[in-house]
Amino acid sequence: MQPADFAQQELPLLYKTKSIKRLDPNTYVFHCTTRNDAGGRCNRNMLVVASDTEGGELSLIDPLRITEEGERKLRKLGTVTRIIRLGPTMHAAEEDSYYLNNFPNCQRWAPGEFLNSLDLPVDFKMTESGQTPFPLCKVFIFKETAHPEAALLLYRDGKHGNLLVTGECLQHQLDNEFVNMPVVAKFKLAGLLESDIVVSQQWLKVMMPTATAVAKTKYGGNYKDSRTNRPRMRRMSSLSGSQKAIRGDFMRLLGMNFQRMLSTSGNVVKYGAKKGAVLAVEYAFPLWERSTRGM
């Protein structure tokens, strides 16, 4: 590492495009990285949905301020006409402002106003029954969170499979090749490496509709039955009212049909995303407490 890696950056943070993957004929993901003040190499993703016309309209989901080289590659795909902000991520106000100021007639879509970007316009407020930002798309709205949050389901053919696009609620960090060891250690402490897909505890703390964050039960460890390799269950779990409400949101989300998943950070889940998401929700909001007996 160089001393410059620890220098404080100006806002919005500038992201280098490390990889551009074409997920299907109309969908691209920009895997991007930046350095934090502690020298950690962080990763965030920007999903790009292109119209059927070559060089046509582009929709950016959770847009990032990328380098000039990355922006040149973006412009080759088409013209940015809308940005879609799924939730109140850090520095989102500065990132959204950049696109609104530099791309004429660019529209901003969001599930509502965020406290960190109250001065930015919401040209289209996303609802589950309203207009969608582009064709072959379904909008999902979290109804029980303390702040507005959305997810998008992109309908794709059987060859590729439907793609669930989330903010920070569900994450896949196990094979995140774009971060360095300090960030991996942070992920481990945050519980983001416990399974293929996890419900982010940090997201829950921010989004819980009461001041009380989700508390870890005293049986919160990953205790498994040696015969079945599954967690031992003891008795009914005492979820709070807020936890039950958030769990209800996730159960509605799991009612959608998807095979792939991408969040605002991490890699693409190419297969079995629905099964992984179901396990993540059951682990985060257990209806039965895990038993330590016999361990």
Residues 115-126: pLDDT tens digits? 877 789 999 999
pLDDT at 229: 52
Q: What pLDDT sits at residue 225?
A: 47
Percentage of the residues of the chain whose pLDDT score is greater than 90: 72
Residue 143 one-letter amino acid? K
Is residue 29 predicted with pLDDT exceeding 60?
yes
Which residue pairs, CB below 8 angstroms and at least 24 apart, start in 199-205? Answer: 199/169, 199/170, 199/250, 199/280, 199/281, 199/283, 199/284, 199/285, 200/168, 200/169, 200/170, 200/171, 201/284, 202/168, 203/167, 203/168, 203/169, 204/246, 204/284
Selected residue with higher pLDDT from 27 and 214 = 27
Residue with structure tokens 């100006």?
10
Q: Which residues pair with 271 in a beta bridge?
A: none
Lowest mean pLDDT, pick from 174-178, 272-276, 286-290:
286-290
Q: How far apart are CA 239 and CA 244, in angstroms?
A: 6
Q: How confident is the model at residue 12 (pLDDT cuts 50, 70, 90)?
A: low
Split at pLDDT 50, 70, 90, the class of 216 is very low
Nearest Cα neighbor of 46 from 86, 81, 94 is 86
Q: Greater confidence, 93 or 235?
A: 93
182-207 pLDDT per residue, tens: 999 999 999 999 999 999 999 999 99
Q: Which amino acid type is present at position 154?
A: L
Does residue 212 surpass a pLDDT of 50?
no
Domain 3-290 matching CATH 3.60.15.10: the answer reads yes
Top-confidence residue, 42 or 219: 42
Least confident span in 21-30, 113-122, 151-160, 216-225:
216-225
pLDDT band at 9 (very low <50, low <70, confident <90, very high): low
pLDDT at 217: 35
Q: Token match 């930015």: residue?
A: 120
Q: What b/e string do you get for 192-209 counting C-beta neighbours within 10 Å, with b at 16 or more?
A: bbebbbbbbeebbeebbe
Give the rounded distance of the alpha carbon of 93 from its chain centre. 17
